Amino acid sequence: MTAILEMRGVSKSFAGVQALRDVNFTVEAGQIHALVGENGAGKSTLMKVLSGVYPHGDYEGSIIFDGEERRFRDINDSEALGIIIIHQELALIPLMSIAENIFLSHPPSSLGVIDRDTVYRRTKELLAQVGLTEMPDTLVTDLGVGKQQLVEIAKALSKRVRLLILDEPTASLNENDSAALLERLLAFRAQGIASILISHKLSEVARVADRITVLRDGRTVDSIDCRAETVEEDRIIRSMVNRDLAHRFPQRTATIGTPVFTVKDWTVHHPLHRDRRVIKGVDFEVRRGEVVGIAGLMGAGRTEFAMSLFGRAWGERISGRVWLDGREVHLSSVAAAIDAGLAYVTEDRKELGLILDADVRKNITLASLGRVARQGVIDDMSELRVANDYRNRMRIRCSDVYQETGQLSGGNQQKVVLSKWLMTDPKVLFLDEPTRGIDVGAKYEIYCIINELAEAGKGVVMISSEMPELLGVCDRILVMNDGAFVGEFSAAEATQERIMRAIMRNKEMDKKVLQGELQP
């Protein structure tokens, strides 16, 4: 096949840190080419070079597209040739319609006036191409994350895409939405559209990719032709981390003690629709040294449950009782929750977990300023010592603790968030999707941290959409559906099939209630 893209000898550095080192990367026409590697390996940097975010002259090497060398000054230059990048954080405006989002930058017009009929008709055609049946005037805020991803792809198609770059497109999606998105990529391949897929989900990569390129420390270290070779996840992992992971999950012998955190009859109503119960009289318990997993589909209420417990950070008309260390506590605010010994690592580290334009040092100490202050004034040297200590303990890869947190890779940002909450010395730590969007090597390190917390007698609660992760890390798994726990399994008896059966059995019961076949 003919190469649509060649990147030759690409190198890029930031303030003395070499992000890319003589990288060669080729994509054939109509090919799905997966780009994998640990966080910080250089994947996103390479794609920013390709798309013009880093303009010509800001890097070494050359870009050949359609047989000609290209020197992109900005992203508009690359988009004009049909190179479209969709970032992990979607660039949609929630309170605008699908049609308005798709044609915001390039609306069809006549004599300077937007042709709304053409916008509507073209939007319907584009939505049909990506498998959506919504009307063009539907607000983006009324769509789920999976459908919003498809709207982004429809927007790319409206720009006559020839090379589609997707950065972690399924990181926030459930299994059904992920499968639908991957099917779209296969359909585009049949239409001759080439795709570059950046993903940490190796099973998805192996399923759809024609070729897999592995980056490590800014270098190309392996390239696999999936049509000619058997794709082995172990080989990809070895190339990514430069070591064998004999076990995907670290071993731990659990020593589980007395209850450290108990919740009785916890009920939470929706903050906008105050008559709607989101969490429905839940009882919950975590013991010392125990890792408890919470499984469930998107919308089951897992995040709402955790946030409502963490100082009532979500919800209205909250009722129920909470005990920590056998003493009843009233978690009326986030500050009260932290003081009581609760910590919550949010699922959205960029929006809710970090101040991206603040340095690593400030983010680590943010929730524990009293520990680095004297008489209400922050002691800079004490703050620096603490930040460096956590940088070393958590193996955070940064130039120094004064580096801006937004410049770090996803895995290292997650370690900064964990450091922030570990510094509060919590008794119970809630982890909401703690490994979302990070690579297999960083995941392993976070699993080790979870084990260390449990061995230290902490109670750990892990909310995760990845079943193998729950099965590999947790001592006990609770299944949530529609704001209530509908199943409980010990580590010994838990399987993916049993967990999904518990979820689907209760969804079927909900359906029958709605149809009037059962009493609620």
**Contact at 8 Å (CB) between 438 and 351?**
no
Q: Are strands 428-432 and 219-225 parallel, antiparallel or unpaired?
A: unpaired
* Alpha carbon separation from 263 to 117, 281, 329, 424 (Å, rounded): 55, 10, 10, 22
| Sequence ranges of the chain with CATH classification 3.40.50.300 | 3-241, 259-341+426-514
Nearest 5°: CA angle at 128, between 124 and 133? Answer: 80
Contact in structure between 186 and 178 (CB atoms under 8 Å)? no
In one-letter notation, the amino acid at residue 345 is: V
The sheet carrying 291-295 orders its strands as: 342-345, 428-432, 459-463, 291-295, 476-481, 484-490
Question: pTM of this prediction?
Answer: 0.66
Nearest partner of 431 among 458, 450, 412, judged by Cα: 450
Parallel, antiparallel, or unpaired: how do β-strands 194-198 and 17-28 relate? unpaired
Q: What is the pLDDT of residue 520?
A: 42
pLDDT at 284: 97
What would the two tokens of residue 158 be?
Answer: 């409206």
How many helices, marked H, and strands, marked E, lie in the chain?
16, 24
Q: Crossing angle for the helix pair 380-393 and 410-422, nearest 10 degrees?
A: 120
Domain boundaries 3-241, CATH class: alpha beta
**Cα separations in angstroms, 144 against 62, 177, 298, 353, 429:** 39, 9, 10, 22, 28
Q: What's 259-341+426-514's CATH class? A: alpha beta
In tens digits, the chain (520 residues) has pLDDT values of: 689 999 999 999 876 678 899 999 999 999 999 999 877 788 888 999 999 999 999 999 999 999 999 999 999 999 999 998 888 777 889 899 999 999 987 888 887 888 888 999 999 998 988 888 899 999 998 887 778 888 888 888 888 889 999 888 887 676 777 888 888 889 889 989 999 999 888 888 888 999 999 998 889 999 999 988 888 888 887 888 776 555 678 888 889 999 999 999 999 999 988 889 999 999 999 999 999 999 987 778 999 999 999 999 999 999 999 999 999 999 999 999 999 999 999 988 888 889 999 999 999 999 999 999 998 899 999 999 999 999 998 889 888 999 999 888 778 898 999 999 999 999 999 999 998 877 777 788 889 999 999 999 999 999 998 888 899 999 999 999 889 999 999 999 998 888 878 876 655 444 443 444 444 4
Report the candidate in 352, 457, 372, 456 with the shortest Cα–Cα distance to residue 414.
352
Distance in angstroms (rounded) separating the CA atoms of residues 429 and 461? 6
Long-range pairs for 376-384: beta carbons < 8 A, 24 or more residues apart: none
Instruction: Check residue 243 and give its pLDDT.
Output: 60
CB 203 within 8 A of CB 26: no
Predicted local distance difference test score (pLDDT) of residue 435: 86
DSSP 8-state secondary structure symbol assigned to residue 349: I
Q: Residue 23: its pLDDT value, please?
A: 94
